[in-house]
Amino acid sequence: MPEYKLTYFNLRGRAEISRYLFAYSGKKYEDHRIEAADWPKIKPTIPFGKLPILEVDGVIIHQSLAIARYLAKESGLAGQTPVEQALADAIVDTIDDFMTLFPWVEKNQDLR
């Protein structure tokens, strides 16, 4: 069985979909949460300087949606046919669209 380590900030945000997938599947994983004060020293060690990342047996997967799609496939939730896979992708993309509606995603501080 693979060893999983999910790394993200100590909040919900973009890693929450992956946490839900782990909870649903019952797969064990390390939920490594980074405090904001530690981020500047950790950032240079992270691919593209972005979180979340998922380590699977030492291999790093970055980008929240790539991680979610990987976990969905590992959990049997990605669909069996191309149409089912497209419908599963549509759900993931809809959740991502929904996430962008929240003010913490807005980069412009004046618009938050």
Instruction: Say what the pLDDT of residue 103 is.
Output: 63
| Active-site residue flag, 14 | yes
Instruction: Say what the pLDDT of residue 101 is.
Output: 77
Q: pTM of the full predicted structure?
A: 0.83
Lowest mean pLDDT among 33-37, 38-42, 46-50, 105-109: 105-109
Q: Which pLDDT band, with edges at 50, 70 and 90, does 112 fall under?
A: very low
Predicted confidence (pLDDT) at residue 110 exceeds the cutoff of 60: no
Lowest mean pLDDT among 36-40, 69-73, 84-88, 94-98: 94-98
Average the pLDDT over 85-100 and give the result: 85
What domains appear along the chain, each with residue ranges and CATH number? 4-111 (3.40.30.10)
Average the pLDDT over 1-15 and give the result: 92
Could you say which of 12, 33, 104, 112 is catalytic? 104
Could you say which of 4, 8, 29, 69 is catalytic? 8
Could you say which of 14, 29, 33, 39 is catalytic? 14
| Active-site residue flag, 39 | no
| Active-site residue flag, 104 | yes
For every residue of 70-103, DSSP letters joined together read HHHHHTT-S-SSHHHHHHHHHHHHHHHHHHTTSG
Q: Return the number of other C-beta atoms located less than 10 Å from residue 28's C-beta.
A: 10
How confident is the prediction for the chain on average, in pLDDT?
89
